């Protein structure tokens, strides 16, 4: 039943026009490395590509955290605010997602997480019931035995991890502030056209 649920969730992944997105190669040349430098933030994503191509999921997860900080211009502070998440450059967010989904064959990535986030009753940019967010955590393996796992040591850094398990650059997502941050991130995904706004009737 659970496999059927995940298959249904992934079937909702929208078609994304990649013509405006960076193109990736398994072995980056100097030309493709240049294509992995953000035109807006000048952040270089080539090391992340190398880690993902090698299947170094833990290294890639840690690198994603550092890249998000750099993209938000918060690498000196070491953390981001809700406003920083709202202003994440779309090119950088798209590049992170493209790399993760490509090298995991769709198992990981922000857009993969988004489909499960919505399928469990959550809404981009809106705080749904805590129970819905906990269902999301259960499905992608951020919760076990009805409790949130301790990041990052207890993440599963393999392709055997639940679909959507990575990336998880934060230390935790269980606190109310972190839940708001992730919900804001899903809203930014919609704004940046990583995913389609779900067709939900307002009550």
pLDDT given at position 33 = 57
What are residue 167's phi and psi, to 5 degrees? -80, 155
pLDDT given at position 158 = 97
**pLDDT tens digits, residue range 99-122?**
999 999 999 999 999 999 999 999
Query: Left if phi > 0, otherwise alpha if psi is -120 to 50, otherwise beta: which for 151?
Result: beta
All residues at 6 or more sequence positions from 92 whose CB lies less than 8 Å from its CB, including other chains: 38, 40, 41, 43, 45, 67, 71
Dihedral through CA 77, CA 83, CA 85, CA 88, nearest 10?
-90
Please report the DSSP string for 121-155 in residue order: T-BTTB---HHHHHHHHHHHTSEETTEE--TTTTS
pLDDT given at position 27 = 40
| From 23-37, 62-76, 77-91, the region with the lowest mean pLDDT | 23-37
pLDDT given at position 4 = 40
| Angle (CA) 185 100 52, round 5° | 140
Give the separation between CA 39 and CA 34, rounded to whole angstroms: 10
**pLDDT tens digits, residue range 9-61?**
444 444 333 334 444 444 444 445 568 999 999 999 999 999 999 999 999 99
pLDDT tier, 192 (very low <50, low <70, confident <90, very high otherwise): very high
**pLDDT tens digits, residue range 126-182?**
988 899 999 999 999 999 999 888 777 889 999 999 999 999 977 655 544 578 889
pLDDT given at position 173 = 53
Walk me through the domains of the chain, giving residue ranges and CATH numbers.
Answer: 42-191 (1.10.10.1770)
- Whether 203 has a pLDDT exceeding 50, the answer reads no
All residues at 6 or more sequence positions from 201 whose CB lies less than 8 Å from its CB, including other chains: none
| Angle (CA) 143 148 151, round 5° | 100
| Cβ density class 89-128: b for 16+ within 10 Å, e for less | bebbbbbbbbbbbbbbeebbbbbbbbbbbbbbebbbbeeb
pLDDT given at position 113 = 97
**Helix, strand, coil percentages in the chain from 3-state DSSP, rounded to 5:** 50, 5, 50
């Amino acid at each position: 039943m659970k496999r059927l649920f995940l298959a249904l969730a992934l079937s909702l992944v929208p078609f994304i026009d990649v013509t405006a997105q960076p193109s990736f190669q398994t072995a980056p040349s100097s030309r493709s490395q240049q294509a992995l430098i953000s035109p807006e933030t000048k952040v270089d994503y080539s090391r992340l590509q190398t880690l993902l191509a090698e299947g170094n999921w833990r290294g890639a997860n840690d690198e994603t955290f550092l890249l998000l900080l750099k993209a938000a211009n918060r690498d000196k502070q070491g953390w981001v605010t809700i406003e920083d998440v709202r202003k994440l450059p779309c090119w950088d967010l798209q590049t992170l997602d493209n790399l993760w989904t490509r090298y995991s064959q769709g198992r990981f990535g922000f857009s993969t997480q988004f489909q499960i986030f919505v399928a469990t009753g959550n809404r981009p940019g809106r705080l749904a019931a805590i129970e819905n967010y906990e269902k999301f955590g259960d499905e992608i393996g951020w919760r076990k035995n009805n409790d949130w796992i301790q990041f990052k040591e207890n993440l599963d850094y393999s392709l055997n991890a639940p679909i959507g398990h990575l990336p998880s650059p934060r230390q935790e997502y269980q606190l109310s502030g972190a839940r708001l941050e992730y919900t804001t991130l899903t809203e930014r995904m919609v704004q940046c056209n990583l995913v389609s706004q779900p067709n939900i009737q307002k009550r």
